[in-house]
Chains A and B, each alone.
Chain A
Amino acid sequence: MSHDVTPPIDEATTAELRELMGRYPQARSALLPMLHLVQAVQGSVTSEGIETCAELLGLTTAEVSGVATFYTMYKRRTMGTHLVGVCTNTLCAVMGGDAIFERLSDHLDVGNDETTADGQVTLERIECNAACDYAPVLTVNWEFLDRQTPESAVDLVDRLRAGEPVQASRGATITSWRDAERVLAGFEDGRADEGPSAGDASLAGLRIAQERGWSAPPIPTVADSETADEVARSKETAEAEADTRRAEDETVAEESAADVKGGGSADG
């Protein structure tokens, strides 16, 4: 309700868009952050936002639209105050994500990518959000809510709609989707120090190692002259090796069947 009127892109926003452009060797690299900022200001990627980005970057509106429509985080409809994402990728779905989504959908009376009548919550199925050890996982404005149940999820959205403060499991106090978009665009909100270092699952191995006295081997003392010699020898041979092995090794690397995506898995 509070976002019925779309604020215009004013001079202050234009100045921030230019600031983002200035952070990169080539201004167009700022387009994704700029679209995040447009969403933070206007609640979606508006036609005005597309025109402004195009004008600032010397692109056509078609080029900017082509980018904006490619990425799922950019929304063409005005969003609710909060974006509630339910992971329904395989592992979370099996662990209960499907049941959670179904319950929330019933409770809020909205389907996927729809917003409640009071404008408070947009519900979305999301893909794997890299928190599988906390499955089933929800996100609110891209903050983690770990190990949820249908009951906890209903309670969560009720508190969000009532305007009660909600603390992320591994993150800050929930703000709003627009505030989150501003951080993603590149402007800090002073909340980095909120929340824990890690959740219990992140610490599972470390805790066991501490209990059992396990650790990586001790680091050798620096004054190991052999190591220094070794480095010197490597230095002499490094360039020659690189030259002769470059072509064939790179071919092998790029053709590797394991050169899959995601998780940085193109780290060939």
Chain B
Amino acid sequence: MADTLTPVLSRGWADERSWTREAYEARDGYSALRTALDMAPEEIVALVKDAGLRGRGGAGFPTGMKWSFIPQDTESPGGGNPKYLVVNADESEPGTCKDIPLMMANPHELIEGVVIASLAIRAEQAFVYVRGEVLHVVRRLRAACREAYEAGYLGADVMGSGRRVDLVIHAGAGAYICGEETALLDSLEGRRGQPRLRPPFPAVEGLYASPTVINNVESIASVPAIVRGGVDWFGSMGTEKSKGFTLYSLSGHVKRPGQYEAPLGITLRELLDLGGGLRDGAELKFWTPGGSSTPILTAEHLDVPLDYEGVGAAGSMLGTKALQVFDQTTSVVRCVLRWTEFYKHESCGKCTPCREGTWWLVQVLQRLDAGQGREGDVELLLDLCDNILGRSFCALGDGATSPITSAIQHFRDEFEAGMHTPSAELFPPAASTLFAAEVSA
């Protein structure tokens, strides 16, 4: 049984100048790359596959399996083209805040993972697509990339192996949709970030219509540890189908919000306990397990194991493990409206159900929030959601419906109250703030 918290990715974050190559090397940094250079590419793929690493960006797809989809046989479609690795560092899902601190404090672990993953899929060119709105993270990534070139971890002859891996740090320009992998690829090609129809899948026709792996920051940064520790070590943390360590991000009405790196399967009750509990006088009202696109849960779900299966069985998704915690002072209608405004703003406009549907959702929610809802508005919201869910190229529209349908499921009364009373009257916003003098029920 592993310890309650298992810092691996975050183990060096408190070290002096932890972001530098020198500091990373002092904590075994780039030792995994040496090991990986002695392995055949298929061996690295098999190792990650056997370890059971699943994508940490939300969907939980097995990382090693994704790598194995890259055609390496020149006879198969795309097999003769260059291969690309693209790291999705466009962390933008509301509530999600794990990759940014990782890249700020520990960019070299990501870069070591990039080189190893590139070797595994035989890519000579990799990219980190980082959202543009995080200046200091971009600085640290560029500096780490430069340092890695200087030390020979990147470049035409990685550590004298004769293998080439080049890396470009690419800053985006403010578009949530670019976290969707095919939109990200279009954006990286210098276009509007709009999702592509699949098939063809990126593994065959991704960047520049060539085989491409797109992985989340945390997934790639977990690879060096797997190479260092091996399959059994990784599997000694986590649950049967959700193996390993991961970053849980606690935010909202808790005493000690922050990053908690634990084996998969920890519960919110345990995390809240570590986080000092809710603020004084507060009771848990609702929470997201993995960002705003994952259906909200309530106090009855405090003991759900936070792994892919556990949260799925509770009717939500593990997502990005972004645990946004709201107490009893919070209006669920206000929150759902704000999230919906976000989806409306970020809808790329390609698919009608999402583009038009999010617009209509906002209008209905605005009047409910203002206490001017009409008879039948709750049914109208559900009907709109039904017409958006599953009807667009990508999952943005689906995500937009999650907070609405789940909130109505758990707090229908509050939406009904929106037909006569403004949310701000039922739940004065001042009481929810960090600087509220005291929590009033």
What is A's interface to B at a CB cutoff of 8 Å? 23-26, 28-33, 35-36, 57, 66-67, 70-74, 85, 88-91, 93-96, 98-99, 126-136, 139, 141-144, 147, 149-150, 168, 170-172, 180, 183-186, 188-189, 191-193, 195, 197-210, 212, 214-217, 219-220, 224, 227, 230-231, 234-235, 237-239, 241-242, 245-246, 249-250, 253-254, 256-268
Contact = CB atoms under 8 A, between A and B. Distances in A.
Contacts of B250: 133, 204
Interface string B394-424: 1110110000000000000000000000000
B113 interface: no
Contacts, number: 462
A210 B173 CA distance: 38
A265 B192 CA distance: 19
B213 to A, nearest CB: 10
B231 A256 contact: no
Contacts of A239: 42
Interface in B213-269: 214-219, 228-233, 236-237, 245, 248-252, 256-262
B136 A144 contact: yes
B174 A217 contact: no
A50 B318 CA distance: 42
Interface in B48-64: 49-50, 55-61
B322 A132 contact: yes
B3 A132 contact: no
B293 to A, nearest CB: 4
Contacts of B215: 264, 267
B272 interface: no
B50 A230 contact: yes
A242 B203 CA distance: 12
10 contacts: A98-B429, A132-B251, A142-B133, A192-B139, A198-B104, A212-B4, A215-B7, A219-B233, A264-B88, A265-B293
A264 B91 contact: yes
Nearest to B390: A257
B7 A216 contact: yes
A31 B172 CA distance: 10
B189 A91 contact: no
Contact of B58 (A189, A250, A258): A258
Contacts of A261: 92-93, 176-177, 179-180, 183, 293, 394-396, 399
B97 interface: yes
B364 interface: no
Contacts of B172: 32, 71, 73
Contacts of B61: 253, 256, 267-268
Of listed B92, B193, B291, residue having the most chain A CB within 10 A? B92
B438 interface: no
Contacts of A147: 434
A195 B200 CA distance: 44
B317 interface: yes
Given A142-B132, A205-B7, A227 B231 contact: yes
Q: Which of A70, A215, A235 has the most CB of B within 10 A?
A: A70
